[in-house]
Amino acid sequence: MSTLSNLGGTDDRQENRKHHLIALDVDGTLVDHEGSMTEEVRDSVRAAVQAGHDVIIATGRSLGATLPVIELLGITRGHAVCSNGGVTLRIDTTLAEGFEVIDRVTFDPKPALLALRDRLPSAKYALEDDRGRFLSTESFQDASFGSDAQSVDFEEMLESRAVRVVVFSTDSSAEEFGAAVASIGLHGVTYSVGWTAWLDIAASGVTKATALEALRRRLGTDQDLTVAIGDGRNDIEMLQWAGRGVAMGQAPDEVRSVASEVTGSVFDDGAAKVLRSLV
């Protein structure tokens, strides 16, 4: 693993003229944990788009929370990956809604939900269903949903088809929560534990990387011309998948260890430094 350095030789300039697929995480990468994006980050993304690269937002956020980021960045055509790979969009501002869903991967959440409730009875649960709605137990809202959650009882949630399940505990530390989730031994799903006592669940085998690989093949991009930047545990597969996987400076050790490079933190516009090296 190397630290991102100043690039600028002849070979590098020739490489930068090639058409890259650039996958960008949002929270902790493009925006800080207050949800703020700097002008430098925004301008560097726009520069990469103008240079002809395929810039793809790849986020754990749901569709409704991803669209404002796409709009802020001025991306009018291309693709985006939402819900940790569960939903893939084609962006085209000439369409009625400005996008279309080209893939939505659902699963039966019942076994995982029952196992989790047994081990974490006081946790809060939310579910993104196959119609894009968010269903939740109790009062459970988060900016990553992109829409108001509809309150339902747990039994109704069990009967839904899910794109994404979110579990949040206010009674546990991140370490305690992670240990509890690990002890459950969830099967038939893909999951990642966040910075806090937060769990994201998707269909088995579905990650940002699986959705990005499908787009890479669709676009015909060489694997060695793929770039990914992220900071979270849900970015690990994406960083391993990319020809150039870059971890943000504040990423935990397990994320940094799988990256081929480490850039500056989100507070130092680390993503912008990588993007500037490609234009």
Q: Which domains does the chain have, with CATH numbers?
A: 2-105+207-276 (3.40.50.1000), 110-203 (3.30.1240.10)
Tens of pLDDT, residue by residue over 224-236, are 999 999 999 899 9
State residue 251's pLDDT score. 96
Picking from 31, 74, 82, the residue whose alpha carbon sits closest to that of residue 49 is 74
Instruction: Please give the Cα distance from 212 to 219 (Å, whole number).
Output: 10
Q: What is the mean pLDDT of the chain?
A: 87
Pick the most confident of 35-49, 153-167, 185-199: 35-49
What's the rounded mean pLDDT across residues 262-275? 97
Question: Does residue 4 have a pLDDT over 50?
Answer: no
DSSP state, 242?
A: S
What's the rounded mean pLDDT across residues 42-48? 97
Question: Does residue 2 have a pLDDT over 60?
Answer: no
pTM of the model: 0.86
Instruction: Please give the Cα distance from 252 to 27 (Å, whole number).
Output: 14
Angle between helices 63-73 and 39-50 in degrees, nearest 10: 80
Question: Does residue 201 have a pLDDT over 50?
Answer: yes
State residue 180's pLDDT score. 76
What's the rounded mean pLDDT across residues 93-118? 92
State residue 15's pLDDT score. 55
State residue 139's pLDDT score. 65
Cβ neighbourhood burial of 242 (10 Å; 0-12, 13-18, 19+): buried
Percent of the chain with pLDDT over 90: 59
